[in-house]
Structure 1
Amino acid sequence: MIDRTVFVSRRNLLARGAFIGGLALHPRLALAAAGTDARLVFIILRGAMDGLAAIPPLNDNRLEKLRGQLAAPPAQLGAPIKLTADFAAHPALAGFAGLFAAGEAAVVHAIASPYRERSHFDAQNILETAGNAAYAVKDGWLNRLLPLLPAQSPAVALSATLPALLQGAAPATSFAPSRLPDASAGLKVRVAALYEADPLLHRLWSDAIATEMMAGASGSADGPGNSAALAATAARLLADASGPRIAVLDMGGWDTHAGQAQRLNNQLRQLDGVFAALKSGLGAAWSNTLVIAATEFGRTVAANGTGGTDHGTASAALLAGGRVAGGKVHGDWPGLDRLFQDRDLMPTSSLNALFAGAVAGLFGLDPELVVRRAFAAAPAKAMTGIIRT
């Protein structure tokens, strides 16, 4: 028999959000019919992805001179996959390269935020808040975007905590499959009956059960920490008619100071699996989806003494989905003859400009309004030509 006082005494804890046998509760989750068919998935690549290795330029002797053996993947990993006459994809991005060839993926190269120092934490904060300095802005630019959407269907982060990108006044939530054993169906029924007379907890419980059913996340064979499994969960949530229309995924591990060749291969293979899981899970909704994968800064052009690269400036953003103007490497390629601070890929495109142009085009919003509302602290003219109309 369940002791009612145990659950009632935990009301405040549950109202703030808790995990019960694979079920995440969050007070700001409210399921409603979405007012748009467009979907956005934003993937944060934490640790500074090496854009020159992920999407290497072709026929650039300076890259080989500065990087030596790191200029190309080891032979056992396979050869780079040609995307255009000027760029290739790392062999671990074979699935992404296939999307690119089908017109469902694109790249924006030599891109960076306004940040020009080399702290991961500061750079990630600026990436997520679009501030003009680290921690100068308290809410995320994606949260500031939400009130501009046709209807406020909540955004969700597939994470145990809400990333800065989604923090703010607009409704947003986080959801992650629990590592604990799933609660029995009987327990869930008894808890539902217990909360039936409580307006707050009854709504929270009902919403959480609905989210779990949409996610299909309980007892995932791939494990709750698997990136592709989380992407599949995000896809199920987004594909549901009553689900959110924006999802955020968080991928760490991109800080490749040493042993970069194998480590980066593993990271890119995981990212490739994320793209595949999103396309598969979204089904028909993929045709109206945009996926953006972006990192806080790039890495040095030259290799260091431990088989890796150090903190740099410009990198590459990877885009996918049926709404992307695919089959292209966007941006103004600066070449490697002139480096930023004589060490980094020169930034020629703005992440803020990409984000503003992409979300404006995807959701049919005025680009200037998006810049004013979401990127006012460090404005950049919204990038055009990213979204397929």
Structure 2
Amino acid sequence: MSGSNTGVRLGRRGFLTLTAGAGSLLVAPQMVLATVPTERRFVFIIQRGAADGLNIVVPYADPAYARLRGALAIDAASARKLDGQFALHPSLAQVGAMYGQGQALFVHAVASPYRDRSHFDGQNVLETGGIQPYAVRDGWLNRLVGLMPRAGKQAIALAATVPPALRGPVPVESYLPSGLPDPSADLIERVGKLYGGDAQLHPLWAAALDARAAAEKTATKQDPAGLGRLAATFLAKPGGGRVAMLETGGWDTHSGQEGRLAGQLKGLDALLAALRDGLGDAWASTTVLVATEFGRTAAANGTGGTDHGTGSLAMLLGGAVRGGRVIADWPGLAPAQLFEGRDLRPTLELDALIAGAAAESLMLDPELVARNLFASGAVRPSTGLVG
């Protein structure tokens, strides 16, 4: 077990707005925002595709790591050593700086209750808080927003569709800058007149124009740094969103992993840095959770990649995070220590991490959050994660 987890307890074990682009159909779901009456912010970033936690936070002190990974093993000399056991992938330079400032912590050998290896099923369990795929219809993030005091419009999704984590009874609208050419001023004016007398469509159109104007101020593009800036724009607005979800894809590295993972991590690093810089002083009251549906095999495969696994890595970042630590009940990578003889064995519960981080971030009762967010009813929320 890493020696830097003092004071932390971790247990073992919509609404779619097509007009939001002001005349353009939206593509590529990316971000969701929810408005709640607080000045604290909670952001969930999902890594779709099963991110390789073993090469993101590297267990360089485990003698089996280099043997299993071969040419894919990250040289600890080129990485940032976090403590005497783990090192950070060199592509995460800004995240490493946050760690040095006590604004990032990493939770290793962590997993949701899901133990098979289907992306769709694993993501569904992660996002709904269920035990089995598709057993729960709404998302834990929607239920989290529902625990907050009501304050007018509850949620806005900056996405073409609302991701499963924020689907549920709390209404969510959607917005994302379109990759299509900008609509002309004449078209916007004509549509505004067309919707002007419609009690249902006019408020949606007005909200879309407000969101478009805010996004234009950031010169937002559909790239990781642009998405981070856009998220910060909405999260920093007085009375704006305080709970957000961002989607990143491309983490399924069956082949050519070395270059692909480095590129993915550089993008994530740029997104997080842009979010931090864009939030300014609000970063001090922000918690960002980064998690994936499951990990990847401990051993490299024959095509320079890794296959679907089980245990992986989660990150917490932000000015409100009690960082500068790696939390791990490390199971080891020797053959007898692997899950089903192939995967990093999960020893910590992702549900417990989510419940504790969300509750502490938004100053809610952790036990209440755990009961409402997760179907098992047995989640013991983590503590000591967020100040």
The interval holding the TM-score normalised by the smaller chain is: 0.7 to 0.9
Gaps of 5+ in 1: 1-12, 25-30
What are the superposed Cα offsets for residues 285-316 of structure 1, whole Å, 9 maximum, x if unpaired?
11111111100000111111111111111111
Identity of aligned residues (%): 52
Residue 246 in 1 paired to residue 243 in 2? Answer: yes
Match of 1:230 in 2: 227
Moved more, 39-48 or 369-378: 369-378
Q: Equivalences for 1:70-89 in 2 at 5 Å?
A: 70-72=72-74, 79-89=78-88
Q: Do 2:218 and 2:229's aligned partners in 1 also have CA atoms closer than 8 Å?
A: no
Match of 2:42 in 1: 40
Gaps of 5+ in 2: 1-14, 27-32
Q: For residues 20 and 120 of structure 1, what CA distance do their matches in structure 2 show?
A: 33
Residue 310 in 1 paired to residue 323 in 2? Answer: no
Task: Note closer, same or farther for the CA distance 1:264–1:346 as it changes in structure 2 (3 Å cut).
Answer: same
Structure 1 residue 15, shift from structure 2 partner: 6.7
Q: Equivalences for 1:352-371 in 2 at 5 Å?
A: 352-371=351-370
Moved more, 13-22 or 324-333: 13-22
How many pairs does the alignment contain?
364
Q: For residues 358 and 252 of structure 1, what CA distance do their matches in structure 2 show?
A: 23
Q: What residue identity is the alignment partner of 2:303? A: T
Task: Note closer, same or farther for the CA distance 1:357–1:259 as it changes in structure 2 (3 Å cut).
Answer: same
Residue 380 in 1 paired to residue 379 in 2? Answer: yes
- In structure 2, which of residues 281, 305, 323 is the aligned counterpart of residue 284 of structure 1? 281
Match of 2:159 in 1: 159
Q: TM-score, normalised by structure 2?
A: 0.88
1:249 is paired with a residue of what secondary structure?
strand
Q: For residues 349 and 155 of structure 2, what CA distance do their matches in structure 1 show?
A: 24
Q: Equivalences for 1:174-185 in 2 at 5 Å?
A: 174-185=174-185
Q: For residues 42 and 324 of structure 1, what CA distance do their matches in structure 2 show?
A: 14
Task: Note closer, same or farther for the CA distance 1:315–1:113 as it changes in structure 2 (3 Å cut).
Answer: same
What are the superposed Cα offsets for residues 308-364 of structure 1, whole Å, 9 maximum, x if unpaired?
111111111011111111101123222223111121111111111111001110111
Structure 1 residue 50, shift from structure 2 partner: 0.5
Structure of greater Rg: 1
Q: What residue identity is the alignment partner of 2:182? A: D
Q: Do 1:216 and 1:236's aligned partners in 2 also have CA atoms closer than 8 Å?
A: no
Q: What residue identity is the alignment partner of 1:311? A: H
Q: Equivalences for 1:190-201 in 2 at 5 Å?
A: 190-201=190-201
Q: For residues 19 and 116 of structure 2, what CA distance do their matches in structure 1 show?
A: 36
Residue 140 in 1 paired to residue 142 in 2? Answer: no
Report the RMSD for the aligned CA atoms in angstroms: 2.3
Q: What residue identity is the alignment partner of 2:343? A: D
2:316 is paired with a residue of what secondary structure?
strand
Moved more, 163-172 or 376-385: 376-385
Structure 1 residue 179, shift from structure 2 partner: 1.4
Relative contact order, CA 8 A, sep 6+: which one is greater?
2
Q: Equivalences for 1:332-371 in 2 at 5 Å?
A: 332-337=329-334, 338-371=337-370
Q: What residue identity is the alignment partner of 1:150? A: P
Task: Note closer, same or farther for the CA distance 1:34–1:139 as it changes in structure 2 (3 Å cut).
Answer: closer
Match of 2:327 in 1: 330
Q: For residues 291 and 96 of structure 2, what CA distance do their matches in structure 1 show?
A: 17
Structure 1 residue 168, shift from structure 2 partner: 0.8
Q: Do 1:39 and 1:290's aligned partners in 2 also have CA atoms closer than 8 Å?
A: yes
Q: For residues 376 and 160 of structure 2, what CA distance do their matches in structure 1 show?
A: 28
Moved more, 243-252 or 177-186: 177-186
Q: Do 1:352 and 1:379's aligned partners in 2 also have CA atoms closer than 8 Å?
A: no
Q: TM-score, normalised by structure 1?
A: 0.88
Match of 1:214 in 2: 214
Q: Do 2:114 and 2:122's aligned partners in 1 also have CA atoms closer than 8 Å?
A: yes
1:247 is paired with a residue of what secondary structure?
strand
Residue 111 in 1 paired to residue 110 in 2? Answer: yes
Residue 301 in 1 paired to residue 303 in 2? Answer: no
1:293 is paired with a residue of what secondary structure?
strand
Q: What residue identity is the alignment partner of 1:371? A: A
Q: For residues 338 and 256 of structure 2, what CA distance do their matches in structure 1 show?
A: 24
1:344 is paired with a residue of what secondary structure?
coil
Q: For residues 217 and 114 of structure 2, what CA distance do their matches in structure 1 show?
A: 37
Task: Note closer, same or farther for the CA distance 1:123–1:23 as it changes in structure 2 (3 Å cut).
Answer: closer
Q: For residues 318 and 33 of structure 1, what CA distance do their matches in structure 2 show?
A: 23
Moved more, 149-158 or 168-177: 149-158
- In structure 2, which of residues 63, 77, 83 is the aligned counterpart of residue 61 of structure 1? 63
What are the superposed Cα offsets for residues 128-169 of structure 1, whole Å, 9 maximum, x if unpaired?
001110111111111111111134553444432111111111
Q: For residues 145 and 376 of structure 2, what CA distance do their matches in structure 1 show?
A: 17
1:106 is paired with a residue of what secondary structure?
strand
Q: For residues 53 and 59 of structure 2, what CA distance do their matches in structure 1 show?
A: 10
Q: For residues 236 and 133 of structure 1, what CA distance do their matches in structure 2 show?
A: 36
Q: Do 1:23 and 1:212's aligned partners in 2 also have CA atoms closer than 8 Å?
A: no
